[in-house]
């Protein structure tokens, strides 16, 4: 069950006209927090993200199922089922035995999937599959929505990075 805080943030995102994927990001963030807090674990970062996306669809976020070729048939069907459930007016009460079994199975999983390093690796791997043109377009869009203060800070950081990369770094042993 999503937390009230998350529901409020999603409602705010929706009111601001943000994309369904941005709204769903709030649920993913909540899942990552749950893994970090020790509420339950996840076998991989991908699983934690998938749980968050599933919760988002069930909560009524208009997030479409992945296209053929991007995910397995089972994943696409599961996503479609979650979306259909999110469109229903009355919430279906989860089966207690199944709910408990799922929670207990997740509690046995490790918590390293939500570490900053694991999230970074997942983000890089995901970006690599998109290709340079898509990455550049995303960067351009980010710059356009940043605002002058944040843009200035980003420019400073980029300048620092460029200045640091030209210096010779000591070799690792």
pLDDT digits (tens, 9 = 90+) for 23-65: 999 999 999 999 999 999 999 999 999 999 999 999 999 999 9
Beta-bridged to residue 71, according to DSSP, are 68
pLDDT at residue 131, rounded to an integer? 87
Percent of the chain scoring above 90 in pLDDT = 66
pLDDT at residue 111, rounded to an integer? 95
Using CA atoms, how far apart are residues 117 and 125, in angstroms rounded to an integer?
12
Query: Under DSSP, is residue 68 helix (H, G, I), strand (E, B) or coil?
Result: strand
pLDDT at residue 77, rounded to an integer? 95
* pLDDT < 70 regions, the chain: 165-173
- Reported in sequence order, the residue ranges of 13-157 that DSSP labels E, i.e. its strands, are none
pLDDT at residue 51, rounded to an integer? 95
- Cα-Cα-Cα-Cα dihedral sign, residues 118, 75, 71, 65: negative
Using CA atoms, how far apart are residues 112 and 43, in angstroms rounded to an integer?
8
pLDDT at residue 75, rounded to an integer? 94
């Amino acid at each position: 069950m999503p937390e009230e805080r998350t529901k409020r943030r999603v409602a705010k995102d929706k009111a601001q006209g943000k994309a369904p994927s941005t709204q769903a990001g709030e649920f993913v963030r909540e899942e990552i927090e749950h893994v970090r807090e020790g509420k339950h674990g996840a076998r991989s970062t991908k699983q934690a993200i998938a749980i968050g996306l599933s919760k988002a669809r069930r909560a009524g976020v208009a997030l479409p199922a992945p296209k053929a070729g991007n995910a397995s048939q089972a994943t696409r069907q599961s996503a479609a089922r979650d979306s259909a459930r999110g469109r229903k007016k009355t919430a279906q009460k989860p089966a207690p035995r199944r709910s408990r079994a799922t929670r207990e199975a997740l509690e046995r999983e490790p918590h390293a999937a939500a570490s900053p390093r694991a999230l970074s690796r997942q983000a890089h791997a995901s970006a690599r599959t998109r290709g340079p043109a898509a990455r550049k377009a995303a960067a351009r869009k980010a710059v356009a929505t940043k605002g002058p203060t944040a843009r200035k800070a980003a420019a400073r950081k980029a300048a620092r990075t460029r200045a640091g990369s030209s210096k010779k770094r000591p070799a690792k042993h």
